[in-house]
Amino acid sequence: MMKPSLVLLLAFSLALATSVAAKLQKDFYKKSCPQAEQTVQTIIWKHVAGNPELAAKFLRLFFHDCFVRGCDASILIDSKAKDTEKFAAPNLSLAGFDVIEDVKSELEKECPGVVSCADIIALAARDSVSYQFHRSLWEVKLGRRDGKISRSSEARTEIPSPNDDFSTLVGRFAKKSLDVKDLVVLSVLREQRSEITPTFACAVNAVIDED
């Protein structure tokens, strides 16, 4: 059975993704990369089988990505100056980056330059949660584009903090077309803590917009 905290994070992540989605569609890769969703599921399920905690980690990664500039994979962009979203304090405990890289590497072999990292993160969130049920729990519409701008300052100021007072939290959520009911998910954002160290092919061609 899914943990209550995971259910809350799932509900909130879906609400946030819906609020920022535009022109997404079912079977987006049907012609350009027909095996894309199956490839993502196979790899994600393999990793979750060995580490069940990845479900919550991928949902949290998806949430943090979507809360800044929308669901555009800007959370993956690296920088020697460490001034991108990935290096902002709220994101230092995120995990699952290495698995996203595994998925991207395989998809590049199958369909070079076709599947966006933003779609991979969205699918990873769904497939990691779905693993224990052995079926996809919800449909993920695809067609997201990867962002080329990533600022640590935006992540620091936009991602909700456990130290924010109520009025600040309400303001942050309102900017994302979310209401007070969604604040309940904040209780789970402090649960997962792990180190991350890899680099990412997903962001290799990104243009970094400095703070």
C-alpha–C-alpha distance, residues 74 and 147, integer Å: 5
Catalytic residues: 64
Q: Is 4 annotated as a binding residue?
A: no
Q: Is 101 annotated as a binding residue?
A: no
**Alpha helix positions (H), the chain:** 4-20, 36-50, 54-67, 97-110, 117-130, 152-158, 166-174
Q: Is 70 annotated as a binding residue?
A: yes
Q: Is 85 annotated as a binding residue?
A: yes
Q: Is 179 annotated as a binding residue?
A: no
Q: Could you give the 3-state DSSP secondary structure of residue 84? A: coil
DSSP lists the bridge partners of residue 142 as 25
Hey, what long-range contacts does 172-179 have (CB within 8 A, 24 or more apart)? 176/16, 176/19, 176/20, 176/67, 177/19, 178/12, 178/15, 178/16, 178/19
Lookup: tokens for 175: 């900017």
Q: Is 65 annotated as a binding residue?
A: yes
Q: What is the DSSP letter of 138?
A: S
Give binding residues as ranges: 65, 68, 70, 72, 74, 85, 160
Give binding residues for substrate as ranges: 160
Give binding residues for Ca(2+) as ranges: 65, 68, 70, 72, 74, 85
